Amino acid sequence: MKIGIILETKEYEKAWNAFRFAVTAKKQGHEVKVFLMGEAVECEGLVHEKFNVDEQLKNFVNAGGEILACGTCLKSRQLESTEACPISTMRDCVNVVIWADKTVTF
C-alpha cells in the first residue's frame, strides 16, 4: 500500500508518533511519503528526553522513506532544505495525496 502522511506539528509526542507510524509502515513493506507542513518543518533535530523525534525521522529515512518539506513554511522560518527534508511545494503535497492509497494527518 502507498501511505501519505501529512505532519503539521512539532509537538514532541505527536511528531514522534507520526514518524513511529511511518517507520512501522515501512517495516511492513509499505511505500511511505511524509509531507512536513507548518511548524513540522522544524522536526529535524527535535529531541526530547522521552520523545526523540529526530531519531525516528532518521530511522524513517534510513528505512527508505521519503520526506518532503513545504518550502513556504521553511522560508517563513528562515530555514533551509536539508538532504533529509528537501524543499517542496504545495503541488508536491497534492501529488503525495494523489499518489497515496491512504493519507493520514498528524
Confidence of residue 6 (pLDDT cuts 50, 70, 90): very high
pLDDT tens for residues 14-49? Answer: 999 999 999 999 999 999 999 999 999 999 999 999
In tens, the pLDDT along 60-78 reads: 999 999 999 999 999 999 9
What average pLDDT score do residues 53-58 get? 97
Exposure string over 17-39, b if 16+ CB within 10 A, otherwise e:
bbbebbbebbeeeebbbbbbbbe
CA dist., res. 37 & res. 1, Å (int) = 23
CATH code, 2-105: 3.40.1260.10
pLDDT level of residue 81 (50, 70, 90 thresholds): confident
